[in-house]
Every structure is written in C-alpha cells, then in structure tokens.
Amino acid sequence: MHKRIENSPFSDLIVVELADTPAGEQVGKLLADAGATVVKVEPRAGVSSRHIGPWRDGVVGPNESLSFWAYNTSKQSVVIDEPDAYSGPLADLLDRADVVVTTDGPARLAERGISPDALRRGRDSLIVVSVSPFGLTGPWADYRTSDLVGLAVGGPLHSCGYDDHTIPPILPGGNQAFQNAASFAVQGLLLALIERFDGGGGQVVDVSMHESNAVSCELANPYWFYPKVLVKRQTARHAQPTRTSPELFECVDGYVYFALILGDLHQWKAVVTWMDEHGLAEDLTDEAYTDLAHRQKRFSHVQEVFEAFFARLDAQTLYLEGQERGVPIGPLRAFEELSTDEHLQARGFFVDVPLADGTAVMFPGSPLVSSGFAPRPSRPPRLDEHGDLGVGRSR
C-alpha cells in the first residue's frame, strides 16, 4: 500500500477513477499525489495508457509502460470487467466514494451504465467530475478527440510554431490539451468540495476539453474579441498581430532565452554595463540610448550588438551572472539535461520513487506546494494490484 501523506486535507477523500484519457488520469494523479485515496477501475487488459510506450528497459507489458507511470502515481488499481453502478464491486466502491472521475461522452457513459445520473442516484453527496472531449451536452458531445485535435479545434495550436509561416503550426509535447482540461477539472472539483463542505451536497462538474482550450489561447482571445485582429505565430515567444523581436539568442554552447524590454531603462543599463565590461557594448553606452525613442529607432542595431555579446559567452555563465545583475536569462535545456539542472534540484522538482522490486525511479514531484503538508508521488500500481483489498483510507 502507498504511504499516507501527513496532514493532507485530502487524506479522507476517496476517489473512484473511471478514466481512460490523460485528462482524467491527470486529475486522479494530482489528487492521489496530494494524499487522496484514488482507486483506478480498469478492464481486464488494463486501461489504454498501459499499452502505450516507451517501456521500462524495453520490456513491453501493462506494468512497464512509462506513459502509464507518468499519469498514475500514488493510485490503487482494481479490475472490474463490467462496471455496474447499482450492484457488484463498483457499486460497493461508489457507496464509499466522495468523487468519481469519468472521461467518456454522454452516449458512451450511458451505454456503460455510468452516466452522472446513474452514478449519483441514491448518492446525493457524490461529486462526479466529467472531463470529456466536448462536454456532456451539445452537438459534439459524443465526438472523440486527441491531443492534436483538442489544440487545433480549441485554438491554441494557431499560436504554436515559428516565424516562418510556410511551416505549419507545431504541436507542443506533453499532452497539453489534456493537461489543460485536467487543470480546469481539478479547480472545479475543489470548488465542488468546498460547497459540499458548506452543506451543499454533491454535484456534477462538467468540463469540456474543447472549451478549456478555447479559453486558453492567451493573447489570441483579447485581440480577436476587441480589435478583431488575428495573432501570428512567432518563434519561442508570444503570438502577436505584428512581429516582435527575437528572444532566443545563440551562445557558445547552445541557446538562451532573454526578453529584451526596451522600455525598461534599469534592465537596459544593467545589460549595457555588463557588455561594456567585456568590451562589447559598441556605441550602446552613448547617452542618447537612455532615450526610449532612440533605442526604438536603432533597434536593429541594438539587436545585432546583443547577439554578438551573447555569442561570446556560455549558457550557464549568462544564466548565473544575469541573475546577479537582475537580468532574467534562461538557458535552453535539452531534455536529458533537466535532471541535473541545479535550480530544479534545489527546488526538489524531481523525487526518487521506490518501486515494488526495490529499485527507485526519478519522477517529477507534485506541482502543488503547501506550507501545511508535502504532496509527493508514490509508485504507480500494478494491474489489479488492489483487487482483493477493496478500498481503504490508508495509502
């Protein structure tokens, strides 16, 4: 069994996860890592994510999927082949549950006998969190989706890509559409829990992945709502109606990110002083450059001087010395470099999670930070690992 998290406000919460998408699994994971008892109900072969690679040590199997591991830490697993909300093992679970998480559209939920109405019948205090492709109502309610479709139809993908618009929009990694929906779902659940705590009973939290992404288009939304202007994709920076200055600078050993804000005179002086110490400021030390209008007029030249300066130093030097001078500069890390990043280590971003075989694997820690308790992932469950244990409040 997984360890109980001391002082967690979620320690008495029992969640039944009837989810088979990254969105629903992420909702369960966030709650489980924070101390809730999350019981994952699976078919005999396991949920879909158990059959998606990559695989631990190249061994293919339902308990070796790193994709499954990523979204299912700290949970319990039980196999129920034919879920029935009114009888059998699922009904027993539901009778003790505080929250149920589902991910199918309304027709599929009804077909499986686990519609929100069916789940809540006779269980007035139960909170049902539905995080589905297009919500429980409307003409698209039973459409299926994917991460790519979610971002494209929802809108964020329009803003993702490069300055060169002959290149189509670029899909971000990490199941962003599903993650975004999960974030909305958890927030809705927390509000529902507060209302129930205040005597309001249970309810259905209906989260549409499509709508979650449609309201998460950053600057694209206000630019369209008010001046009716479309934003344009820009490399490694916010999409805007007009092209802005590049913010990726090549350095000796890679790239760094630095947003040059011409209107910030304090930052301007700090960077120019730094450049001058290396003999690379050229004419930027002239008093005329303290005037914003002059900096704007000479921006192409300013950009060239900055590029020449960054090209002479390595990423770590720029990163650390920039901090000392109050200049925010970030190194562009390769994925394999993140695990040894000094900043992430100091923040405890990664944690070692012991597995059932006595080994340990490094996982990202919980994104939740609290002064009262310490959310932390424990190992993902093996298929049906808790099938003979029922649901308990100890983790």
Query: Do 211 and 264 reside in the same domain of the chain?
Result: no
- Asked if the model's pLDDT at residue 136 lies above 50, the reply is yes
Condensed to tens digits (0 to 9), the pLDDT of residues 290-305 reads 999 999 999 999 999 9
Condensed to tens digits (0 to 9), the pLDDT of residues 237-255 reads 999 999 988 999 999 999 9
Residues in the chain: 395
Domain of 130? Answer: 14-216+346-364
Per DSSP, the three-state class of 306 is: helix
pLDDT at residue number 389: 59
Query: Do 158 and 24 reside in the same domain of the chain?
Result: yes
Condensed to tens digits (0 to 9), the pLDDT of residues 360-390 reads 999 999 998 889 999 999 999 999 999 985 5
What percentage of the chain reaches a pLDDT higher than 90? Answer: 86
Residues forming beta bridges with residue 101, ordered by sequence position: 17, 129
In the chain the beta strands, taken as DSSP E runs, fall at: 14-18, 37-42, 76-79, 99-102, 127-132, 204-208, 248-251, 254-257, 330-331, 350-354, 360-364
Long-range Cβ contact pairs of 195-198 (< 8 A, separation 24 or more) = 196/125, 196/127
The number of folded domains in the chain is: 2
Over residues 281-295, mean pLDDT? 96
Among the listed residues 204, 234, 208, 203, the one whose alpha carbon sits nearest the alpha carbon of residue 219: 234
Query: Do 119 and 36 reside in the same domain of the chain?
Result: yes
- Asked if the model's pLDDT at residue 394 lies above 80, the reply is no
Place of tokens 């649901």: 391
Band (156; pLDDT cuts 50, 70, 90): very high
Per DSSP, the three-state class of 160 is: coil
- Asked if the model's pLDDT at residue 102 lies above 60, the reply is yes
pLDDT at residue number 83: 72
Tokens of 62: 């339902």
- Asked if the model's pLDDT at residue 2 lies above 70, the reply is no
Over residues 120-149, mean pLDDT? 97
pTM: 0.92
CATH number at residue 67: 3.40.50.10540
Among the listed residues 302, 243, 245, the one whose alpha carbon sits nearest the alpha carbon of residue 272: 302
Among the listed residues 146, 132, 221, the one whose alpha carbon sits nearest the alpha carbon of residue 181: 132
pLDDT at residue number 395: 36
Would 395 be classed as within a structural domain?
no
Query: Do 193 and 151 reside in the same domain of the chain?
Result: yes
Query: Do 311 and 278 reside in the same domain of the chain?
Result: yes
DSSP label of 44: T
Judged on CB neighbours under 10 Å (0-12, 13-18, 19+), 16 is: buried
* Amino acid making up residue 41: V
Query: Do 59 and 154 reside in the same domain of the chain?
Result: yes
Question: CA-CA distance, 142 to 131, in Å (whole number)?
Answer: 13
Among the listed residues 175, 17, 143, 271, the one whose alpha carbon sits nearest the alpha carbon of residue 284: 271
Over residues 333-341, mean pLDDT? 89
* Amino acid making up residue 280: L
Residues 6+ apart with CB under 8 A from 72: 25, 28, 29, 40, 49, 380, 381
Query: Do 203 and 255 reside in the same domain of the chain?
Result: no
pLDDT at residue number 3: 63
